[in-house]
């Protein structure tokens, strides 16, 4: 028994000093490491927190020194050094406790914040106060911006949907819910495919996935008629514009939706009325053609037999009889002229030729050749500037130019030589022809009336004619998708303008 106790005492005397040395070194290293951590924290905190962390750092360093010296040099350490280190340890510890008094009070007395350290208002530095103020201002500005965007979204004149990448609806404004007849908030979370007709849903799913890969701002449908499906199954015609939201986390897309039901209804109404007008115009043209053509033969016979009666081969008229028969012939001649004009007017569209590129200078030379006798008799002077070659119905344009040049000669000043100036100017996609004369002119109030059918400003005894010439000119220019108008002052001549498109509407649509 005594031998056993001796062995235990001998073993403890061997390993116990070693254990003390090892534990002292570990405690010293831990205190040094903790002191360094508090020192680093002190360099990044406010004044009060920095002081408390420095005090803890000093406290831990003094404890590390005490632990190290008590283990390594316990026999050689002087009493003065030992007391000095203990004083440093106590002072630093008390300083740390004083600096952390607010935290200790919350821990000991059960503060509602559960002992979490908070920076009091009186401890805030000017930098922190400025930062806090800036953050509050940014938060307030962000809230105002969100409210403004929500107000714009709701007050937009079109329906608007915000659609996520997977096709679910993230947001819908009131007008979109009204278009598709959903209750308030009833569209959020639904798949956008539910708004597409069933027969188009598979293709829409493919098109939407392709669009998500390369989103761009564009109209949906590529000029096709689009229809949306309402909650009650009713289909509504719509136009949809797509606009990706830049910087969106979920690649959201804004879809702008316009209900075009009223527009479609109005288009159908316009098409119906246009068809009715076309049929009516066709019937009127056919009637005018038939009437003018069929009435020419009876008039020809009236004129022929009236002249035979005037020839005294079938008896002699009295003076009054000759006068009255002359009235019959003159009236029949005027009627034939009117019928010829009416026939020409109806043939503008019914017997028109195709459009071909025509040299306008050569065309005017042909017109002047046709009017050679009239030009020589009136000694008229015609000046023609270089003109373009454009696509027109050559025979109809020749008729227009012959009518305008003929009018310039007919309505000339009695004491002046007629002077006619013809020029042209290209204006973007149009060509403007100008025909100017020094004739008698007319009042500006009649600038529109002179293009009406059978409209005359002078009596037949002054200037012969039917009043159909300018009406035919306008109808020809309208067929060319152009326009004609006049500007004049009485006694100062007239200027007629003809505006022709360089590319007609049919060609533009084909392009």
Q: How many CA atoms lie within 13 A of 89 on its CB side?
A: 15
Q: How far apart are CA 281 and CA 345, in angstroms?
A: 12
Q: Is 206 part of a structural domain of the chain?
A: yes
* 337 and 250 within one domain: no
pLDDT (mean) for 232-260: 85
Q: For residues 463-489, give the mean pLDDT.
A: 87
Crossing angle (nearest 10°) for helices 101-109 and 79-99: 70
List of residues 6+ apart from 259 with CB closer than 8 A: 159, 179, 236, 237, 238
Is residue 435 assigned to a domain? yes
pLDDT at 75 over 60: no
DSSP per residue, 346-414: HHHHHTPPPPEEEEHHHHHHHHHHHTHHHHHHHT-EEEE----EEEE-HHHHHHHHHHHHHHHHHT--T
**Range in 31-35, 167-171, 286-290, 373-377 the model is least confident about:** 31-35
Q: What are the pLDDT digits (tens) for 276-302? A: 888 877 777 777 667 666 777 777 788
Domain C-terminal end among 326, 350, 374: 350
Using alpha carbons, list the distances in angstroms from residue 288 to 31, 116, 340, 342, 350: 118, 102, 11, 7, 11
Q: Is the pLDDT of residue 345 over 60?
A: yes
Q: Is residue 135 part of a domain?
A: no
304 and 221 part of one domain: no
- Per-residue pLDDT for 127 more than 80? no
pTM of the model: 0.49
In three-state form (DSSP H/G/I as H, E/B as E, the rest C), the secondary structure along 108-122 is HHCCCCCCCCCCCHH
pLDDT at residue 6, rounded to an integer: 43
SS (HEC) of 172-187: ECHHHHHHCCCCCCCC
- Using the 3D structure, point to which of 333, 350, 367 is the last residue of a domain: 350
Chain centre distance of CA 199: 30
Kindly state whether residues 370 and 444 are assigned to the same domain. Answer: yes
Name the domain boundary from 259, 290, 321.
259
Pair (326, 430) in one structural domain? no
Q: How far apart are CA 250 and CA 261, in angstroms?
A: 33
CATH assignment of the domain containing 218: 3.30.450.20
Does the CA dihedral 73-75-77-79 come out positive or negative?
A: positive
What CA–CA distance (Å, rounded) separates 200 from 63? 81
Is residue 498 located within the same domain as residue 365?
A: yes
SS3 191: strand
User: Do residue 374 and residue 445 come from a single domain?
Assistant: yes
How sure is the predictor about 323, in pLDDT bands with cuts at 50, 70 and 90?
confident
Q: Give me the pLDDT at residue 22, please.
A: 52
Given this model, what pLDDT does residue 360 score? Answer: 93
Q: What was the pLDDT predicted at 498?
A: 93
- Please give the mean pLDDT across all residues of the chain: 76
Residue 138 lies in a domain: no
Note whether 498 and 360 are same-domain residues.
yes
> Which of 197-211, 301-315, 419-433 has the lowest average pLDDT?
301-315
Q: Are residues 160 and 207 in the same domain?
A: yes
Listed ranges 45-49, 338-342, 358-362; the one with the highest mean pLDDT = 358-362
d(CA 97, CA 40): 19
Confidence bin at 35 (pLDDT 50/70/90):
low
Contact 309, 325 (CB under 8 A): yes
Residues 496 and 368 in one domain: yes
Structural domain harbouring 304: 269-350
Residue 391 domain flag: yes
Q: Are residues 214 and 237 in the same domain?
A: yes
The CATH number of the domain holding residue 424 is: 3.30.565.10
Report yes or no on 121 lying in a domain: no
User: What was the pLDDT predicted at 509?
Assistant: 40
Q: Does pLDDT of 461 surpass 80?
A: no
Confidence of residue 387 (pLDDT cuts 50, 70, 90): very high
Total count of domains within the chain:
4
For the chain, percent of residues with pLDDT exceeding 90: 13
Q: What is the tens place of the pLDDT at every residue in 479-510?
A: 899 999 999 888 888 999 999 998 876 544 44
Residue 22 lies in a domain: yes
Looking at the fold, whether 201 and 228 belong to one and the same domain comes out as yes
pLDDT score, position 421: 94
According to DSSP, the residues that pair with 254 across neighbouring strands are 162, 243
Indicate whether 455 and 381 sit together in one domain: yes
Q: Are 394 and 417 in contact (CB under 8 A)?
A: no
Task: Decide if 119 is inside a domain.
Answer: no
Would you report the helix, strand and coil content of the chain in percent, each value rounded to 5? Answer: 60, 15, 25
Above 50 in pLDDT, residue 111? Answer: no
């Amino acid at each position: 028994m005594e031998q056993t106790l001796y062995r235990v005492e001998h073993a403890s005397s061997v390993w116990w000093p070693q254990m003390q040395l090892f534990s002292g070194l570990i405690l010293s290293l831990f205190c040094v490491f903790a002191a360094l951590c508090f020192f680093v924290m002190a360099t990044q905190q406010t004044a009060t927190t920095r002081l408390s962390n420095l005090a803890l750092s000093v406290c831990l360093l003094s404890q590390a020194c005490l632990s190290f010296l008590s283990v390594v040099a316990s026999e050689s350490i002087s009493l003065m050094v030992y007391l000095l280190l203990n004083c440093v340890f106590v002072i630093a510890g008390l300083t740390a406790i004083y600096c952390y008094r607010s935290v200790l009070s919350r821990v000991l007395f059960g503060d509602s914040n559960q002992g979490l350290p908070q920076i009091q208002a009186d401890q805030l530095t000017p930098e922190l106060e400025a930062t806090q103020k800036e953050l509050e201002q940014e938060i307030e500005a962000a809230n105002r911006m969100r409210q403004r965007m929500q107000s714009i979204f709701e007050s937009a004149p079109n329906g608007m949907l915000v659609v996520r990448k997977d096709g679910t609806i993230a947001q819908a404004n009131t007008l979109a819910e009204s278009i598709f007849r959903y209750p308030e908030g009833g569209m959020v979370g639904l798949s956008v495919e539910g708004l597409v007709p069933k027969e188009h849903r598979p293709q829409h799913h493919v098109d939407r996935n392709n669009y998500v890969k390369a989103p761009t701002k564009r109209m949906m449908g590529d000029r096709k008629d689009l229809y949306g499906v309402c909650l009650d199954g009713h289909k509504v015609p719509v136009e949809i514009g797509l606009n990706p939201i830049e910087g969106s986390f979920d690649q959201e897309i804004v879809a702008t939706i316009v209900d075009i039901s009223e527009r479609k209804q109005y288009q159908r109404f316009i098409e119906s009325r246009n068809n009715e007008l076309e049929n009516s115009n066709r019937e009127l043209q056919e009637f005018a053609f038939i009437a003018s053509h069929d009435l020419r033969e009876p008039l020809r016979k009236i004129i022929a037999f009236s002249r035979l009666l005037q020839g005294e081969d079938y008896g002699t008229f009295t003076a009054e009889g000759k006068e009255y028969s002359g009235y019959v012939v003159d009236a029949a001649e005027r009627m034939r002229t009117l019928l010829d004009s009416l026939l020409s007017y109806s043939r503008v569209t019914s017997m028109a030729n195709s459009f071909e590129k025509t040299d306008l200078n050569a065309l005017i030379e042909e017109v002047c050749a046709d009017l050679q006798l009239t030009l020589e008799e009136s000694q008229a002077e015609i000046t023609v500037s270089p003109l373009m070659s454009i696509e027109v119905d050559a025979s109809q344009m020749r008729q227009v130019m012959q009518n305008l040049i003929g009018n310039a000669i007919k309505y000339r000043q009695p004491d002046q030589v007629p002077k006619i100036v013809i020029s042209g100017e290209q204006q973007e996609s149009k060509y403007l022809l100008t025909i100017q004369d020094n004739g008698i002119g007319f009042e500006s109030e009649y600038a529109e009336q002179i293009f009406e059918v059978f409209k005359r400003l002078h009596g037949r005894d002054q200037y012969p004619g039917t009043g159909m010439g300018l009406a035919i000119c306008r109808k020809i220019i309208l067929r060319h998708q152009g326009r004609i108008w006049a500007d004049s002052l009485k006694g100062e001549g007239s200027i007629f303008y003809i505006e022709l498109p360089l590319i007609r509407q049919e060609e533009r649509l084909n392009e």
